[in-house]
Amino acid sequence: MINVLFVSFESLPFVKTGGLADVVYALPKALDKTKYDVKVVLPLLKTIKDKYMDKLEYVDHIYINSGVIHEEANIYHYYFNDLEYIFIENDTYFYRDGVYGYSDDVIRFAVFNSAVLEMMIKCDYYPDICHEHDYHTAILPALCKVRYNAIESIRRIKHILTIHNLAFQGVYNKNVLFDFFGFEYRYFEDGSLRFNDDANLMKAGIVYADFVTTVSKTYAYEIQTPQFGEHLETILQYRSGDLYGIVNGIDTDSFDPSKDPDIKANFSIKNYKTGKRTNKAALQEMLGLQVRPNAFLVGMISRLTSQKGIDLLVSSIDHWMQRDVEIAILGTGESKYEYQLKMMEERYKTRCVYYCGYNEALAHQMYAGLDMLLMPSVFEPCGISQLIAMHYGTVPLVRETGGLRDTVEPYNEYTKEGRGFSFGPYDLFAMQHVFDYAYDTYYERPQDWSMLIKNGMRYDVSFAKSAREYEELYERVLNK
């Protein structure tokens, strides 16, 4: 049995700020339980403690000494869906209303990563593989190989770092390496822990991990270029032989249109026409749109940031409103985008609606009721929304980048293939052109539209295929 420890700052069902939590929840579930004994370790954040504390079982107490940090912590564990979750309790740094965004975040990360190693020692638990996720835990391979390398059981651990979004790297003043992580200055001086004249937690992980993965094959290529490399393209090129792109899946237990309790009518590929029609009418009524079954209902479920292509969206709405189109947008983010979308809603009442905030149940109803989902992202490491949309019979329109390119096969009206629509350049006219093409297909070639729906619903969006690829990688890293 191969022991694998997932190390992350968030995971469903406990806490989520983005797609990272979905992956850390779904991937361990999909791994072969006859070969892999998987555990997940998380900080005991406030949102978790307030809801689950009475269900957690106390394990032990540890001391954390890392640079100038001298803290204590408690270890708890909890079984959920046949997986063991380990929680590190330190109220000074983890009992906060939010997950990230604090001035002392780097200290919080230092406490957590050091606590994971002290937990291993205290519990005499040394995994064969540590699978770290994003910059919050990317320093762990360096800690194992530099600070804790005198302990053979820790030194032999293999490390796989998964980059979920390279835009977030954890760049801090170089002194954090010495003050909070306890590294000697020579590891900064030789360049392994240096990023310009700063510390960069993600860079440290890329250097010290045995393998580096990211969440789609196209994104693995993109991040080795200056356009998408976020100033780390050179080091990623250097590690290219150990860099792998494995596309994400979704948890098909949580997202299943045949069983989803949050949608008006459950359906499968066998009765999708009736199901989609009922859910579309329910969504239109729920949002105050005109309840018209033939209107082309398009939508977006997203954080409102420039990365998500919101500039193209707001620049296109006036053009789309000249056609028989209804628009529904769910999300929150930059205030300028929220204001622009509220003005659009005011201008096109009953045809354009903006729900400011996030509502999980409404998101599910939108996946089930929309005709088309928009994802015109500037970059998208993988993307989950397009996978959910296809699973729910909603046709995606995406920009050809990252995981969007890897998962959405574009419609070909001549070969009758495809699962959606896509455009290449990040350009307003390119997006409008492909939108018009999708609009014409919806109204003039309804049989082809049905074909796109069925192709999308048949496409395997589960983590099963991805899990097999990770298992191959686990076998490979153990033999490295």
Helix ranges (H only) for 151-238 are 152-155, 175-179, 186-189, 201-208, 217-222, 233-238
Interior/surface letters 17-36, b for 16+ CB within 10 angstroms, e for the rest? eebbbbbbbbbbebbeeeeb
User: What is the per-residue pLDDT for 106?
Assistant: 97
How many domains in the chain?
2
213 located within any domain: yes
337 located within any domain: yes
Domain containing 337: what range? 272-458
357 located within any domain: yes
Q: Can you tell me the distance from the alpha carbon of 276 to that of 265, in angstroms, rounded to the nearest whole number?
A: 8
What does the angle CA 258 – CA 385 – CA 16 come to, to the nearest 5 degrees? 95
For residue 225, the 8-state DSSP code is S
DSSP-assigned states of every residue in 389-457: HHHTT-EEEEESSHHHHHH-PBPBTTTTB-SBEEE-SS-HHHHHHHHHHHHHHHHH-HHHHHHHHHHHH
| CATH code, domain carrying 360 | 3.40.50.2000
**Number of Cβ within a 10 Å radius of residue 96:** 18
The answer to whether residues 158 and 303 belong to one domain is: no
Run of H or E residues at 29: helix 19-30
Q: What is the mean pLDDT of each run of 10 residues along the chain (480 residues)?
A: 97 90 93 96 97 96 96 96 96 95 96 98 97 97 96 96 96 95 92 92 97 97 96 96 95 94 97 97 96 96 93 93 95 94 94 92 97 96 95 98 97 95 96 97 97 97 94 94
The answer to whether residues 437 and 325 belong to one domain is: yes
217 located within any domain: yes
CA dist list (Å): 93 to 69, 71, 90, 132, 331? 12, 10, 6, 20, 29
**Number of Cβ within a 10 Å radius of residue 237:** 13
The answer to whether residues 440 and 472 belong to one domain is: no
The answer to whether residues 171 and 65 belong to one domain is: yes
255 located within any domain: no
The answer to whether residues 472 and 338 belong to one domain is: no
User: What is the per-residue pLDDT for 358?
Assistant: 83
Q: Can you tell me the distance from the alpha carbon of 94 to that of 334, in angstroms, rounded to the nearest whole number?
A: 26
The answer to whether residues 226 and 316 belong to one domain is: no
Helix (H, G, I), strand (E, B) or coil at 125: coil
User: What is the per-residue pLDDT for 19?
Assistant: 84
The answer to whether residues 49 and 197 belong to one domain is: yes
Query: What's the first-to-final CA gap in the chain, in angstroms?
Result: 18
User: What is the per-residue pLDDT for 18?
Assistant: 82
Output the six-digit token pair for 193: 């822990």
User: What is the per-residue pLDDT for 480?
Assistant: 79
C-beta separation of 233 from 224 below 8 A:
yes
Output the six-digit token pair for 80: 């959920």
The answer to whether residues 142 and 30 belong to one domain is: yes
- Cis ω for the linkage preceding 13 (within 30 of 0): yes
